[in-house]
């Protein structure tokens, strides 16, 4: 089990695959709910929903992104997970 912040190598690989820059990452850490996930927090749910990862840059990764919805919205967070090696490359977008 991994804990704490992502190391620079993992963080940079995920940022490259997600097509984001370091200034868009609010926080990052390992999350373990059985399998270990590398998760980055983005400023908004909209940015999470807009992700179109380049899986060739993270072919064996289990990575996710989470972002917040505006205050007063019916949901608090949007989370998407990507695990290309497990034949589950993308989670469907939630209905708004």
Domain residue spans of the chain: 8-86
- The band of 2, judged by pLDDT with boundaries at 50, 70 and 90, is confident
- The band of 93, judged by pLDDT with boundaries at 50, 70 and 90, is low
Interval 52-90: pLDDT, tens: 999 999 999 999 999 999 999 999 999 999 988 886 555
> What's the pLDDT score for residue 73?
92
pTM reported for the whole predicted model: 0.84
Helices (H) and strands (E) in the chain, counts: 2, 4
Measure the CA–CA gap between 17 and 1, rounded to whole angstroms. 23
Interval 6-48: pLDDT, tens: 999 999 999 999 999 999 999 999 998 777 899 999 999 999 9
Question: 31: helix, coil or strand?
Answer: strand
Strand partners, 27: 41
**CATH number assigned to the domain covering 8-86:** 3.10.310.10
Element (H, E) at 68: strand 63-68
């Amino acid at each position: 089990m991994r804990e704490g912040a992502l190391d620079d190598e993992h963080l940079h690989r995920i940022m490259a695959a997600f097509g984001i820059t370091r200034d868009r990452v609010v926080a990052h850490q390992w999350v373990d709910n059985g399998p270990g996930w590398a998760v980055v927090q983005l400023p908004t749910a909209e940015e999470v929903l807009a992700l179109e990862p380049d899986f060739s840059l993270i072919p064996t990764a289990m990575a996710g992104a989470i972002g917040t919805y505006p205050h007063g919205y019916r949901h608090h967070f949007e989370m998407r997970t990507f695990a290309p090696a497990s034949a589950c490359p993308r989670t469907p977008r939630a209905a708004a």
